[in-house]
Amino acid sequence: MPAIESTRAASRWTTRIVPVFLAAAVAYATYVVVARVCLNYLLRSLHEDGTAVALLVLYFVFFVLMIATYARTLYSANFNPGVVPLGPRAASQQGTKDGRWVRRPYGAHDIEGRAYEAGPDEDPDSPGLERFYSRDAFVCENDGRPKWCSECCNWKQDRVHHSREIGRCVYRMDHYCPWAGGMIAESSFKFFVQFTTYTSLFCAVVLGATAYALRRQVQQGASPDPFLLAAIVIAAFFGLFAFLMTVTSIRYLLQNMTNVDILSYRHKVYQLAVRVPRGTRSDQFGTIEYPLRKLDNGPTYRKEANRRLKPNGRVPEDRGDTPHASSRDDLATRTFAILETRPGENPWDLGPWRNWQAVMGTNPLDWVLPIRHSPCANHENPESLYSMDRILNKLRARYGLPAGPPSDESTLVEMRNLRS
Ligand SMILES: [Zn+2]
């Protein structure tokens, strides 16, 4: 499995060099805290056995946790960052070079190349669309179709973002982090938060141990050890950096946000396609029917969306461009209302406790150990790729729609009536 690396040479080199710097800093801190402070000074000179043992235990607990979470983050960010498979058109245009995804060059007269640059796939049977309408809600464009990535030639599922850094779409992308060695996204965010937390605590232990030893040296009238002073500067620098990252990440965790969501989030408005009883029409919102239907001639995609009711309450007439499907086909269709959130409403916000559990897990052991992936990465929620029941309940109430998704029971009843 090739590592997913940055498309930029500078980032790739930073990613390779940073771990060497980190390893050097940790080796130096270990030498100062273990050898100089605990063994030589506290144990042999001052005979403060209790303090020395307590500091050593704290030091190695956070040392092991920090290294383990770093290794897990590094692995996830490089080998399993949650990249979305390429669409068929992009897959034929891209390939791996030195283990990285690159787009193959194409000439100006390359018809395939031009097709590759084109907008959304207009085929009503476009591969991947069923992943959206088989659920009850998804983020959509004004016309009710999902967002499209013209680089990956793929429909973008909820919270999928295209990263220019690695040239691929990524699930629940957060940021590209040269410190953590790659893409921090759905599969690595939990380990990243654990890593920054343990690094902050590790640096706090180093600061505490060296500051205590320095204070004792000054009390004894000895000249301060310069090794300790250097360790304080290094630990303060990395500690402050890690602490700020931890605070920001925990805030995102509790709000169910990412570095991508946070961009202009106060004004951000989401369009959501929300499944409603079949045939629902309203003057408040547009609707779209899935699966999209093929037309005999002209455009293959029927722009059902925004066929809003006329002021007199009548559905606008079809101008002959709507195919007449059989009643049985009708029953297989699903109607989605295109609803808009208010500015600043975060569709993914489930409340702090559920937001925390979605990423960190439900078991406290999962919170502290870098073993299991975030529950949200399982994509097991039948209603939407990521839970958004809170906003869906709000929107359904706001737009006067029945609470909850339409049951399949009503479809079965209609099917039975049709048969008889
Ligand atoms: Zn993409």
Q: Identify whether 114 is part of a domain.
A: no
Q: Identify whether 134 is part of a domain.
A: no
Range list of H helices, 256-377: 327-332, 352-360, 364-368
Measure 147 CA to ligand 1 centroid, in angstroms: 11
Q: Identify whether 247 is part of a domain.
A: yes
Q: Which residues of 16-35 are buried (b: 16+ CB within 10 A; e: fewer)?
A: eeeeeebeebbebbeebbbe
Q: Identify whether 18 is part of a domain.
A: yes
Candidates 29, 39, 8, 22; CA nearest to 73 is: 22
pLDDT at 181: 74
Q: Identify whether 40 is part of a domain.
A: yes
Candidates 101, 92, 142; CA nearest to 120 is: 142
pLDDT at 103: 55
Measure 378 CA to ligand 1 centroid, in angstroms: 20
Tens of pLDDT along the chain (420 residues)?
567 888 888 888 888 888 899 999 999 999 999 999 999 999 999 999 999 999 999 999 999 999 999 999 999 998 888 899 888 877 666 555 554 555 544 444 444 444 445 678 878 778 888 889 999 999 999 999 999 999 898 999 999 999 998 889 999 999 998 877 789 999 999 999 999 999 999 999 999 999 999 999 999 898 889 999 999 999 999 999 999 999 999 999 999 999 999 888 889 999 999 999 988 888 999 999 998 877 554 433 444 444 443 333 334 444 334 444 455 566 678 999 999 999 999 999 999 999 999 999 999 999 999 999 999 999 988 899 999 999 999 999 999 999 888 876 555 555 566 555
Measure 1 CA to ligand 1 centroid, in angstroms: 20
Measure 161 CA to ligand 1 centroid, in angstroms: 7
Measure 34 CA to ligand 1 centroid, in angstroms: 48
**Cα angle vertex 250, ends 343, 182, to 5°?**
95
405 neighbors 363 (Cβ within 8 angstroms): no
Measure 90 CA to ligand 1 centroid, in angstroms: 9
Measure 283 CA to ligand 1 centroid, in angstroms: 34
pLDDT at 308: 43
Measure 154 CA to ligand 1 centroid, in angstroms: 7
Measure 64 CA to ligand 1 centroid, in angstroms: 37
Measure 300 CA to ligand 1 centroid, in angstroms: 24
Measure 166 CA to ligand 1 centroid, in angstroms: 10
Q: Identify whether 302 is part of a domain.
A: no
Measure 128 CA to ligand 1 centroid, in angstroms: 14
pLDDT at 127: 81
Q: Identify whether 228 is part of a domain.
A: yes
Phi-psi region of 351 (alpha: psi -120 to 50; beta: other; left: phi over 0): left
CA distance 8 to 222: 51
Q: How many domains is the chain built from? A: 1
Measure 129 CA to ligand 1 centroid, in angstroms: 16
Q: Identify whether 68 is part of a domain.
A: yes
Measure 380 CA to ligand 1 centroid, in angstroms: 23
Measure 358 CA to ligand 1 centroid, in angstroms: 24
- Residue 246: domain span: 9-82+186-255
Measure 305 CA to ligand 1 centroid, in angstroms: 25
Measure 101 CA to ligand 1 centroid, in angstroms: 12
Measure 345 CA to ligand 1 centroid, in angstroms: 25
Candidates 13, 24, 153; CA nearest to 94 is: 153
Here the tokens at position 130 are 């069923």
What is the residue type of 33? V
CA distance 37 to 358: 42
Please report the DSSP string for 82-142 in residue order. Answer: -BPPPPHHHHHHEEEETTEEEEPP--TT-HHHHHHHS-S---TT-TTTHHHHTSSEEE--T
